[in-house]
Structure formats: structure tokens, C-alpha cells
Amino acid sequence: MTEKKQQIKYDGFTLLEMLVVLLIISVLILLFVPNLSKHKEGVDKKGNEAIVKIIETQIDLYAMEKNQTPTVDQLLQEKYITQEQYDKYQNSK
């Protein structure tokens, strides 16, 4: 009587393979997260610079039209800037 060995076929990952994948993902996260926070700071800084530039441009436009230099509050009241722009400008000071 000859016995045939049955081979068991597994359809999945071994624990070692899963650990290797988790290690790689962890290393990638450690590399990218600090860079993302630096980029966010840069974007915020550029956004604040853009708001200041918009306010300065609107001040120049107002001065050309009315022959006087306005305050930021006057720009808001006369609809040269939006409330959102005004708020961001006040927060960027």
C-alpha cells in the first residue's frame, strides 16, 4: 500500500509577509508625515501673502478712484473686499 502525501495549499499571506509589509508602510509614513506638515506651513504662508497683496491692490484701486487712501474697514464697507478676505487679513497681522 502506497501512501500519497496530500499537499495543503494555503491561500493567504504568512505572518512574516504581513510584518514586512507593515514595516515598509510604517517607514514610508515616517518619511512623509513631516514633509506634509512643512508643506502645509508653506501653503498657509503663501495664502497670507496673497491676502495682503489683494488688500494692497484694492487700496491702490480705491485711491485711484476716490483720491484718498482708505482703511481696510472702508474697503470692506464699500465692497472692495469680502468679509472672508477681511478676516484673513486681520488674522495674518
| pLDDT for res 50 | 93
- The C-alpha angle with vertex 35 and arms to 51 and 88, in degrees rounded to 5, equals 15
Tens-place pLDDT, residues 76-87: 999 999 999 999
| pLDDT for res 3 | 61
Name the residue among 78, 59, 77, 79 with its Cα closest to residue 69.
Answer: 59
Give the residue, 90 or 13, on which the prediction is more confident.
Answer: 90
Residue 67 to residue 69: CA distance in whole angstroms: 7
* pTM given for the model: 0.60
31 pLDDT exceeds 80?
yes
Q: Let me know if 81 is exposed, middle or buried by CB neighbors in 10 A (0-12, 13-18, 19+).
A: buried
Q: Please state at what angle helix 83-92 crosses helix 15-66, rounded to 10 degrees.
A: 110
| pLDDT for res 4 | 64
Residue 48 to residue 92: CA distance in whole angstroms: 6
